[in-house]
A and B are shown apart, each in its own frame.
Chain A
Amino acid sequence: DTAVSQTPKYLVTQMGNDKSIKCEQNLGHDTMYWYKQDSKKFLKIMFSYNNKELIINETVPNRFSPKSPDKAHLNLHINSLELGDSAVYFCASSQGEVWGNTIYFGEGSWLTVV
């Protein structure tokens, strides 16, 4: 069973479109994240949610809107896509109470904006 699963794995879309990436974790964790990995492989946190509540918002443009319907799901909706949004988006989760904050990543969603 995949611990953190995200769909779609690949997404090619035109500038100006709106798209969503879905994420689910079956680890029973209470904290979920979205990370962005750019073309140079640099990984940076975008958002984190704890028990469906937004905790971290790393100055991400408001075209990006995360939504957490429950602890096991964290979706990412992107409006008015731009060329610079092309990247790999990783969903992740952790158990917030455990020291060390081990983060488990999904396999990524490759977004290409043309």
Chain B
Amino acid sequence: QQQVKQSPQSLIVQKGGISIINCAYENTAFDYFPWYQQFPGKGPALLIAIRPDVSEKKEGRFTISFNKSAKQFSLHIMDSQPGDSATYFCAASKGRYGGATNKLIFGTGTLLAVQP
């Protein structure tokens, strides 16, 4: 059972364009929603994260939009650059203070290619 569904599976965007990746979750107990970025041959690295009491969080060119009622959240990459080409994973976990008893449930990943 896939608790976090991610789309699209792959995405091609022109340099300077907007990349949008969507995720939907089922478990209403989830209260932490991070996005991870993974380059080939590397481990995933935290990009940006949001908690459900806000509808949007922005860090530089990266924005998370969160819709609690629809149980959906999305990553927007503004002014996409070739260096953004990577695999992006959404994830979710439950428990306010994280910790060892909590675990990240990952989406299936989106391979983003930004063409120059």
Listed in ascending order, the chain A residues whose CB lies under 8 Å from chain B are: 4, 30-31, 40-45, 48-50, 55-56, 58, 90, 92, 94, 96-108
Contacts and interface: CB of A to CB of B under 8 A. Distances in A.
B43 A92 contact: yes
> Could you say which of B34, B87, B100 has the most chain A C-beta atoms within 10 Å of its C-beta?
B100
A86 to B, nearest CB: 17
A101 B44 contact: no
Contacts of B108: 40-42
B65 interface: no
Nearest to B98: A101
B108 to A, nearest CB: 6
Interface of B: 32, 34, 41-46, 49, 51, 87, 89, 93, 95-104, 106, 108-109
A100 B57 CA distance: 14
Contacts of A102: 34, 46, 49, 98
Contact of B46 (A4, A31, A103, A106): A103
Nearest to A47: B103
Given A42-B109, A102-B49, A50 B43 contact: no
B15 to A, nearest CB: 24
A45 B98 contact: no
Contacts of B34: 100, 102
Given A41-B87, A45-B104, A56-B103, 8 more contacts: A42-B108, A48-B103, A99-B97, A101-B32, A101-B93, A101-B98, A102-B34, A108-B41
B57 to A, nearest CB: 12
Contacts of B49: 100, 102
A108 B93 contact: no
B32 A100 contact: yes
B100 A55 contact: yes
